[in-house]
Structure 1
């Protein structure tokens, strides 16, 4: 996420002034993040209604299919299309080549999933998994018509038109989910809703981008696309091994009901990292690519992104950990209270993972996807080993595996990426501190208050409101006392105002 800071007022981005470029990036962030928030409100509204109608076992079966889909999806060619963003220039033939690659790869993936579904069902010992996977193969056929227009509009930092399509697609998915749940479709609700969302996005993005091009299957001369995309592809593979290995390991060891509780706890804990940070990274990647030759701007922008993200992520995750019990009972119902211990542990781990995933867009934009690939490889080794060990203590042991492996992966990623970016571990730690320190103090205060109000017998909704209000006041007060400049920085970003000019020494201290 790149700003318009006066620190860079002398630089030019392809003939565009830094201030004008910063304004475009700000607008892109607002449209992408704003639409994501609205889309999530729509999705969560339907999810909260659907989750009360379905059984945890339905989510356990669905989680089993997601492991297979995720491992195939890393081959969907999105990394090849992303090479168009990182390139300094492109031509129509390269766009046609990228489209051809996307069509070939995704048709193959759909066929592999369809015909290989019985194997996955046999592994889990759940015959219905084969039927679910065969229908879900339809999503791969929509991917080329999503990836290419999205990448091309992202290259131009055009997120406004994407926003409207994404909102309409979220609405289509939400309506489908609610209708299927009310009709008694059970686990099939979780299959049909994403298909409706995917195909709505595919049609909508293709129309608004006016990018229905004729594909080329002549792949000569596309070495840059293949090279960059392959590194991104392997990064995605290693990331999937890291993020899906817990369900893969647990799916064969625990029954669907228990797995459904763990899977939904993980989904809830990942909301911020999985739903709100990726849209920022989508804007950050093309923005970093535009300023990649100005390393001072790159360094400043990265540290500012870490600082601003942690100002939101740290209180969210710390607050989630200490209010998990009344929140789950209020929002999901008493049958989901088994999620609480998992949420409390995993939330703290994902607070660190949120910072870790901010590195990849920058190292990729600098033309070094191998850095994020080796970082992802480290995670693909650490996490499965941790999960295998943790599984000996049940699903709670797997939750603790997240909390052990996450800080180790952040450290490895920072060590690999910092020299390329021009920062130190101390710089990254200082950027995290303004959000992290007040959030931890707030969590202790709210946790003590939660224990104090239990004997009162206050209903779960009342507990949740009281604890959230206390947390907001504590965190806001601590920021006001200790980090007023952080508050001013956020207000400048929201109001689109220029920060005061700073000299080089001050910039180095940021």
Structure 2
């Protein structure tokens, strides 16, 4: 619970600051400028995934680590980051040609410097996570995001355009590196041990392949939209996804970050592991589902209020993406069971199957336009949860039928209340021509009072667990 608390504070604070910065930048910059950065997201993310090679995950799950383990991983990451940067440097013109935007060549070459910067603190961050020292991580991340955001807004106001986003991200990485070296209390030694490297790499390379496949899945929509549709549509999609990911990424990051070391500590006790897994799964859905359904319901006034009318075309994208994200934290975090059970081979097999289905489906959907892609994304997220839960459930004696029975009451309750509130908003609040912020506040109060009240009356398991864990009653 302490880990969850500090991680939630960290994530919420970072996302709140980042969200505020994004709102300001969205009012200054054009959708096309966000679209250009979105085109490069997949390549930057791929570089960061290759850079880590899953060795950080191996450090977190391993016991009896020594200085040679940490130092070996540190120098491998540093050398790998330089190699990856030069690869990206030389392929940048090809990527720019793929999108038919030559300006992307220089943008990518500068943006990719972040690979080398990030390599200097990846091991320190892994140590803090292994120790569940999320308080220090919070102390590091919040000022990095805040100061970097201030720089980004300053540059945008002074006409730097898309470059304000590039320099903002690079400065955030640089400041985070400096603070990790100050607060983590660890320094590398001039050691590279082949035995340690082999041990961590044998686990890590499978995690890297899994990470790359997951990354390609997450960004394949961006690739397709950027290639086959306009940069403006990609800008709208990018903004809609970014806002819909605000609650999803917060909840997913908190749960994943804390559950991995927690699951690892009780990996040999299946009964306890199932109990913790079940409780967390129900809690995640209990808070994630209503938040996303509510956001989808107020999409129109929310976008108008935050980003002005120039972003209104992104609202339908946003509503579909919100519904799509309901199950994402669940099928994301339940894969931690496979990791701590030492089954990266099974995890790799699952990801291969899912991503193959995804790619085939997307290729078939392209002729149906961007809405075809969005509805396929909605369908595939529910399918992914089903597939992941079958295998993770088998390892701890928690079959998929039992899991679905445990989450159905929460899902149905939040969906019914969402539909009811949407009807009230459409038939009454919208017709009164209220201010956008007024509609949002009234809808929010009505929705969450009704949701929490109904959950209490129905005595849903998540609300009872929440009272017992947090309120102690």
- Same fold (TM > 0.5): yes
1:183-332 aligned at under 5 Å gives the runs 183-332=158-307
Query: Quick check: 1:459 aligned with 2:421?
Result: no
Structure 1 counterpart SS, 2:120: helix
Match of 1:40 among 15, 25, 34: 15
Match of 1:335 in 2: 310
TM-score (norm 1): 0.89
Q: Secondary structure at the match of 1:90?
A: coil
Q: Which of 454, 459, 474 matches 2:450?
A: 474
Q: Is the 8 A contact 1:177 1:189 kept in 2?
A: yes
1:399 aligns with 2:374: yes
Where structure 2 has 5 or more consecutive residues not aligned to the other structure, the ranges are none
Structure 1 residue 139: Cα displacement: 0.8
**Structure 1 residue aligned with 2:355:** 380
Residues 22-54 of structure 1: per-residue CA shift (max 9 Å, x gap): xxxx21111111111112111111111111001
Displacement after TM superposition at 1:485 (Å) = 4.6
* Deviation readout 1:212-261 (Å, 9 max, x if unpaired): 21243443453220111011111101101211111111211111111110
Q: Are 1:489 and 2:465 matched, yes or no?
A: yes
Are 1:120 and 2:95 matched, yes or no? yes
Matching residue of 2:70: 95
1:129-180: CA deviation from partner (whole Å, max 9, x where unpaired):
1111011111101222221011111111111111100111111221112111
Q: How does 1:125-204 map to 2 (within 5 A)?
A: 125-204=100-179
Q: CA deviation at 1:78?
A: 5.2
User: When the two structures are aligned, how many residues end up with a matched partner?
Assistant: 472
Q: Give me the whole-angstrom Cα distance separating, in 1, the residues matched to 2:469 and 2:328.
A: 24
Does residue 414 (structure 1) correspond to residue 401 (structure 2)? The answer is no
Q: Does the 8 A contact of 2:49 with 2:208 survive in 1?
A: yes
**TM superposition shift of 1:437:** 2.1
Relative to 1, partners in 2 of residues 1:292 and 1:393: Cα closer, same or farther, differing over 3 Å? Answer: same
Q: Distance in 1 between matches of 2:167 and 2:298?
A: 32
TM-score normalised by length of structure 2: 0.96
Q: Contact (CA 8 Å) 1:117, 1:133: kept in 2 or not?
A: yes
Counterpart of 2:33 in structure 1 is 58
> Per-residue displacement from partner, 1:71-115 (whole Å, max 9, x unpaired)?
222201251122111112211111111112111211111111122
* CA distance in 2 between partners of 1:169 and 1:410 (Å): 34
CA distance in 2, matches of 1:346, 1:187: 25
Counterpart of 1:508 in structure 2 is none
- CA deviations 1:319-362 (Å, max 9, x no partner) are 11211111111111111111111111121111012211011222
